[in-house]
Structure 1
């Protein structure tokens, strides 16, 4: 039997199910001593997560029970998660087995997954807050020399009180044989998360991401986009529109991967600054001028050509420090 079919059948046979306050696995019903299972709160390829009552401490917890596909690596997986002690990462309380089926008792987050949360019409401010918490959690993992491995919205638990948002399942994909693929996946999913969180702000049209970046640099440079969105979609203060033009022109010229047409469309819509102010400053910076008044107050063909040249130069500088992947990148390969 092909391995893929065998895994699929094994996962189906071992998929934990809720029966009353108990679990049914492979046709057998069993209980986790000391815990009353209440409902299913999540499931993935390797496990099912239940909300449960810790009877001894009278508190709600989450219990992850691995299925047949995840059973062989469950304890190592749980150990890695438990080793990440940070307020933005779901805490692990204990690991055990019931009739050789591994389970892990974890902190219960009252809320929904980021995948579910984003389906509703969330404000820009709320999405910026969620991104900030998500990025801080990942940065903590990266600074430890590790990676999350699967940092998509499904593993982001957005709390009802948004400040309690946390990331889950940290480190679970570090068991893949090819570490370079894990690193590429980390960067790809970080970018994908930003794209989905800020779809309402036309992220994919606004930002042309250099795909040669590693996961650390991807997270760092995406902070530029988040800072931009915070300015453009922030509270309009008519007395600060000149300052906003300075801030935005610095951002878009120092990080020349924006789509200027979208930038100007967005600032026109929000009124955070004026088109002529921003155009003068961008033109001045692109031409390395010191006197803003000598620069044109329109974004024209020459402006766009200078901006594309700045992007090409930035990619060239990246290539010097990041090897062949960046050196093969060209303008057509950026989003």
Structure 2
């Protein structure tokens, strides 16, 4: 259900952040929050909220994905719902919501993100922090080699001080932390192996960020460096090298990495998962720590990995929810 009319997808003449929040016609797109949270005892948790519209040949459908992970114990809570129609979905100029179950709601100074499933939930307030940033080439990210012309429009609020509560194992906990919110979408082909990505959102302790969008199967990459203050800059001079691999549902994924970013910050980093990854529908996701070569932890990183990167022909059984 939309209280605003869907808009046309545009690249070089796209709208501003507020305009591009809206749903678009004939594309896949998603409203997506990830973050890390500490309770009063300094225990660490991660969470995910995703509302996605997936466009397939001749049809589209909506998916809600929620997750809450206890990093200390490795316990991962995940829930999802799917609908071939938009009836459970409420999209307004400030809302991306799945009924009363979950949503992202923009206010003048902060965003509310909430979700619940069975006996766990999160109810969080995300301050806008540094504000929103366009990624890559003025918000245009190519989803395969440039000549393929597969694109998305992509912006983020990458540094959002977060407060609120989570309920886990029947216990409500006050939490504080930091979140990153994405709005992204485009008419790219979801089932082409060439458009499957590895995504790294590095959240440094000094309030700087890097968004790295990599396509190792074709050695193509793009990204964004966001300093603590000032304008973001396009970042496509970096090298990510996997150092470990795992198998989930018969598919292989990378599972630890080294990162080289010549001329930026410490230039070389090691990215290591803090828990086992989670296979959500057909993508792999996990929270990692980022260390420099001196072994000092300098930040955290969410990683999202799609199966086409390392699996030539994922089967329909592997790809379905």
> What TM bracket, shorter-length normalisation?
under 0.3
User: Which of the pair is proportionally richer in strand?
Assistant: 2
Larger Cα-atom Rg: 1
Alignment TM-score, normalising by the size of structure 2: 0.28
Alignment TM-score, normalising by the size of structure 1: 0.27
